[in-house]
Structure 1
């Protein structure tokens, strides 16, 4: 399988690239022209673009791929609406090239409350998270809306707090919902799920909650 990975220099995207190569896939890693990127592999193509605000520079990276994975997102609350603008360009490039399968990362607070979520989480922790990162989640809501109304065969992965822990391959998922009492997950395991979703038909056109 040939995959195009956006956000390849980021925490989740970097893991996606490495895990995909380890699994034998061909990978086109999309990085900004100004970014340093020293990953090398016989099946890796590094595509440098001026930015993600326009679809045209992204067409070459997407063309001929079987699927697109996006780990693009803000690295801090001051980064602005990074996810929605970038995703809009990625989806436009996919339309131009006829690529349909798309997996993107979002965040757990955008999902519904789990039916058995604790009272403390439901009434205190989750509202506090939404208040602190309101701009980030507003951007992700726009992104998710654009993905849902696109003609892509999409999967949106919603993790809780991200860590730099190791790849375990062992975590809980809820297709169409939120993992109850799920507080953390490593970036490596989020990448693992994003790759696994490509061969899991019941995740198509569904959000997927994930956590330990």
Structure 2
């Protein structure tokens, strides 16, 4: 496959680049920061996820798009952010122009209806430190659900930089959802695996170790 990965320079996005290349896929990575990587099948493009021209150039000709934007540092506590919803609006429009149907994105446990499964201490902590960001992730999720794309929304729990284990849980049933720990590498493994098939289309799995 040829995968476009937006938000690829760090975190889950960077791990997804490595995972996809390891499996033999072609990767076109878009980020604002230069990526110090040379590999067969890898192409880096500088771009802004809220700029339609940049996004179209990054995704055109790809089979699927993986969106992995991180939380802006200045939005963690006090400042409102619309990065996730703004980027998603642009991406949906540009995917429709490019004729691409498959979208995989990462929000987080506590976004959308998974918020119902947070304990009271978890809810208060998330609101205190990431409330503004998660409010916009809620909007982002609804935009994706309302689109005509073949989407998957991954909701990982608390992220770590541990190595890929391959032993994580993919909880697709609401009754099973819970918060927990998972490595960024395992989230990347899930995203690439889900992109390779259709089993996760239209699902919002919680990802936990």
What TM-score do you get using the length of structure 2 for normalisation?
0.89
CA distance in 1, matches of 2:176, 2:127: 17
Is the alpha carbon distance of 1:176 and 1:202 closer, same or farther for their aligned partners in structure 2, counting shifts above 3 Å? farther
What is the SS of the residue equivalent to 1:4?
Answer: strand
Preserved CA contact (<8 Å) 1:108 1:178: no
Gaps of 5+ in 1: none
CA distance in 1, matches of 2:180, 2:62: 34
Match of 1:192 among 179, 183, 189: 189
CA distance in 2, matches of 1:104, 1:68: 8
**Shift, 1:176, TM fit:** 4.7
1:104 — aligned with what?
105
CA distance in 2, matches of 1:36, 1:114: 35
Is the alpha carbon distance of 1:187 and 1:179 closer, same or farther for their aligned partners in structure 2, counting shifts above 3 Å? farther
2:147 — aligned with what?
150
CA distance in 1, matches of 2:72, 2:166: 24
RMSD: 2.1
Deviations along 1:54-81, whole A, 9 cap, x unmatched? 2122212211111000111314315822
2:122 — aligned with what?
125
Deviations along 1:96-148, whole A, 9 cap, x unmatched? 10000000000101254699x7xxx6233234323432101101011101111
What is the SS of the residue equivalent to 2:110?
Answer: helix
Preserved CA contact (<8 Å) 1:4 1:62: yes
1:83 — aligned with what?
84
CA distance in 2, matches of 1:79, 1:6: 22
**Shift, 1:198, TM fit:** 1.6
**Shift, 1:202, TM fit:** 3.0
Gaps of 5+ in 2: none
Q: Does 1:43 align with 2:41?
A: yes
**Shift, 1:159, TM fit:** 0.7
Q: Does 1:175 align with 2:172?
A: yes
**Shift, 1:200, TM fit:** 4.0
Is the alpha carbon distance of 1:31 and 1:112 closer, same or farther for their aligned partners in structure 2, counting shifts above 3 Å? closer
CA distance in 2, matches of 1:152, 1:72: 19
**Shift, 1:199, TM fit:** 3.2
CA distance in 2, matches of 1:14, 1:21: 11
The number of aligned residues is 205
What TM-score do you get using the length of structure 1 for normalisation?
0.88
Q: Which deviates more, 193-202 or 72-81?
A: 72-81
Q: Does 1:60 align with 2:57?
A: yes
Is the alpha carbon distance of 1:178 and 1:73 closer, same or farther for their aligned partners in structure 2, counting shifts above 3 Å? farther
